Amino acid sequence: FFWSRKVSKKTLLWALDRIVITVALAGMFIRTGNLMNHEIVGAPADISWAFLFTKAGYAELVPRHPAQIYEALAYLLIFIFLGFLYAKREAGTREGLLFGTFLVMVFGARFVIEFYKEVQVAFEQTMTLNMGQWLSIPLVLAGLYFIVRALRKKKTDPGL
């Protein structure tokens, strides 16, 4: 917020449109780190690519979904897609379009991938959707709002 006001002299949405591209890539690296640290493990699975998470602290070694890989790959694809929109489709000329697309794609992917993750806290055991899914819904809706808003406005000078 301060950088956009004081340094770039552009709107906050202009800055967010550019930042979210690299944030998606950072998310990929974070999930890769979660995989290496055996954090945020997937639910038990009977699939050929299941992982044994030996450091996760579970009493029994059960093959599990590599949910961190699913999420890392989703974030990598989102990074590539947002970069393509910015470079080839002039999405930077529609303020909020990249930010909205980021929100819809990241939190839409998270909503789906949460079905393949182990329940992380006890109170989620009885819930139809887990907390990550409930928290993703308003962010997907916010993303849709920014996309519609951006498409209704006229194009601006993309700047940087």
pLDDT digits (tens, 9 = 90+) for 88-100: 888 878 899 999 9
Beta bridge partners of 92: none
Grade residue 143 by pLDDT with cuts at 50, 70 and 90: very high
pLDDT tens digits for range 28-37: 999 999 999 9
The whole-chain average pLDDT of the chain stands at 89
- Percentage of the chain beyond pLDDT 90 is 59
Confirm if 71 and 31 have CB atoms less than 8 A apart: yes
The label of the residue with tokens 């890392």 reads 72
Tell me the pTM: 0.87
**DSSP state for residue 59 in the 8-state scheme:** S
- Opening angle at CA 137, ends 19 and 102, nearest 5: 20
User: Is residue 120 over pLDDT 80?
Assistant: no
Tokens of 51: 């992982």
Mean pLDDT calculated for residue range 40-68: 88
Residue 107: predicted pLDDT: 98
- pLDDT band at 156; cut points 50, 70, 90: low
Least confident of 9-13, 18-22, 54-58, 115-119: 54-58
Structure tokens at 125: 């055991």
46 against 5, higher pLDDT: 46
Contact in structure between 63 and 51 (CB atoms under 8 Å) = yes
3-state DSSP helix/strand/coil % of the chain, to nearest 5? 65, 5, 30
- Residue 140 pLDDT greater than 90, yes or no: yes
CA-closest candidate to residue 150, choices 100, 107, 89:
100
With 80 as the cut, is the pLDDT of residue 73 above it?
Answer: yes
